[in-house]
Structure 1
Amino acid sequence: MSIETSIEQLSSRLQALVQDTRVVLERAVHDYQDVVYSNSLGAEAMVLTDIICTYVPDIDMFTLDTGRLHDETLALLDRVERRYQRRIQVLYPQAEAVEQYVRDHGINGFYQGFNERQSCCNIRKIEPFKRGIAGRKAWVTGVRRGQSAERAQGEAISWDQRYDLWKVSPMLEWTEEDVWAYIRARNLPYNALHDKGFPSIGCAPCTRAVEPGADPRSGRWWWENPETRECGLQPRRVIPLKVEPRRAAASSA
């Protein structure tokens, strides 16, 4: 059994990344108070969950159960809750919407085309996500610059025009190697599918293993063009940083 390394015993690089991540999270809580983390249960999410539970427990957490998740993902959720002795709110799609989609397109209708897949994502992910952030001032995401060209241009804290609240991305500077070094050093739970060639994990029918060295997200919606391979939670274009009114007034004073 692996021994958990304390954060103070991590490499200097990891300690610096943890500190930077903590600073962004604490700034968000200080500035906006009502902050929620949309926990994807991916590898980055395990790191972020550990940092939040250790340093910034005031941040609430929820996750999305689309109804098509891998068994391994649900097993991970149970392990995370047991480790941190903390319940993560689980949000589900509206049953009526799922039933209507299946009537219209079939149980696996998302394979038919881009619009059908986007519709499924909207029902199973976007609508529950909107309920999860409703009334909040800011939401936290674990995106990294190395995941895509769009994410490479992200800001640590930026205004999310689509959802009308602040978006907090404290892990932008982490590399995939950093993520896994932290997971191993801290002996964190993670999805067993990562050991079977799944670097990025979503719904079971829309995720597959990839060859070593391949683009980590190439196993997501692999039948589509790379430009369309997002569920909609993350933008395919960068939204410029909006200046917070309170800070703008202060700087012009």
Structure 2
Amino acid sequence: MSVYTYENWPNQFPTFDEQDETKGALKALEWAYNHYGDSLIYASSFGIEGIVLIDLISKVKKDAHIVFLDTGVHFKETYEVIEAIKERFPDLRIQMKKPNLSLKEQAEKHGDELWKTEPNLCCQIRKIIPLKESLAPYDAWISGLRREQSESRSKTEFFNKDEKFKKIKVCPLIHWSWKEIWRYVYKHNLPYNKLHDQGYPSIGCEPCTLPAYNMEDLRSGRWAGTKKVECGLHES
């Protein structure tokens, strides 16, 4: 059987029962790892959805590849939860992917605090290019997108043709609600970023993340006061 890739997009991927215990997530991961093996990587921000995914992934492939885009401007709490996850799941292969430009080099080339003056360029340098480099050897990648998160994510499927990175994007949590995510974390006593307890449902880089001002929009604290709503990783 040929591997389903961006270039070899199938007419139809398998479907999974969204009514089962994990709303299809575990079955989707089992199929994905059986199909792609070591050509599948999880790009995690180590937010609350990421913690659920890591636990589910560990049940399927305990030595899975995970990449974290280490922009250099994350909250200390984010690094703390990564260390807690490494301790909880010691077999995972976690890569801390840094941008090609250090913060000092970026400031010298583009000016101080680029995230304020040109946030899209900052995301391009510190997130999009590093992810593209990280995904290059792989056929597919896993993301924690949920349909409930935003209008732009409401049509996400378990398997998606990623036009930006020319890969298959696997999204096992599409049917999960915010409450179900938390219920799973508490049930399994999983470590998580403590900023979630301080009004941060969505956590990105420290300079660009505030507590959510609208809990109907869990990403309302990201790039608050601007028209920017996505870093660009999940845009075509």
TM range (shorter): 0.7 to 0.9
State the SS of the aligned residue for 2:77. helix
1:47 to 2:69 alignment: no
User: What is the TM-score with the length of structure 1 in the denominator?
Assistant: 0.80
1:157-196 equivalences in 2 (<5 Å): 157-196=159-198
User: What is the TM-score with the length of structure 2 in the denominator?
Assistant: 0.86
1:19-39 deviation per Cα after TM superposition (whole angstroms, max 9, x unaligned): 611111121222233100001
* Percent of matched pairs sharing the same residue: 37
The amino acid across from 1:229 in the alignment is V
Deviation at 1:100, TM superposition (A): 4.2
Deviation at 1:223, TM superposition (A): 2.0
State the SS of the aligned residue for 2:181. helix
Q: Which residue of 1 aligns with 2:26?
A: 22
Instruction: Please say if residues 101 and 125 of structure 2, whose CA atoms lie closer than 8 Å, have aligned partners that are also in contact.
Output: no
Instruction: Please say if residues 18 and 51 of structure 1, whose CA atoms lie closer than 8 Å, have aligned partners that are also in contact.
Output: no
1:74-126 deviation per Cα after TM superposition (whole angstroms, max 9, x unaligned): 00000000011134111001135x444312443313222xxx11110011111
Distance 1:193 1:104 in 2: 32
Which of these two proteins has the greater Rg computed from alpha carbons? Answer: 1
Distance 1:131 1:213 in 2: 34
Aligned CA distance change for structure 1 residues 181 and 124 (closer, same or farther; 3 Å)? same
Deviation at 1:15, TM superposition (A): 8.9
1:95 to 2:82 alignment: no
Distance 2:154 2:19 in 1: 22
* Length, aligned pairs only: 218
Q: Which residue of 2 aligns with 1:198?
A: 200
1:206-245 equivalences in 2 (<5 Å): 206-211=208-213, 213-225=215-227, 228-235=228-235
More helix per residue:
1
Pairwise CA RMSD? 2.0
State the SS of the aligned residue for 1:174. coil
Aligned CA distance change for structure 1 residues 17 and 143 (closer, same or farther; 3 Å)? farther
**Unaligned 5+ residue runs, structure 1?**
1-13, 238-253
1:134 to 126, 133, 136: 136
Distance 1:155 1:109 in 2: 34
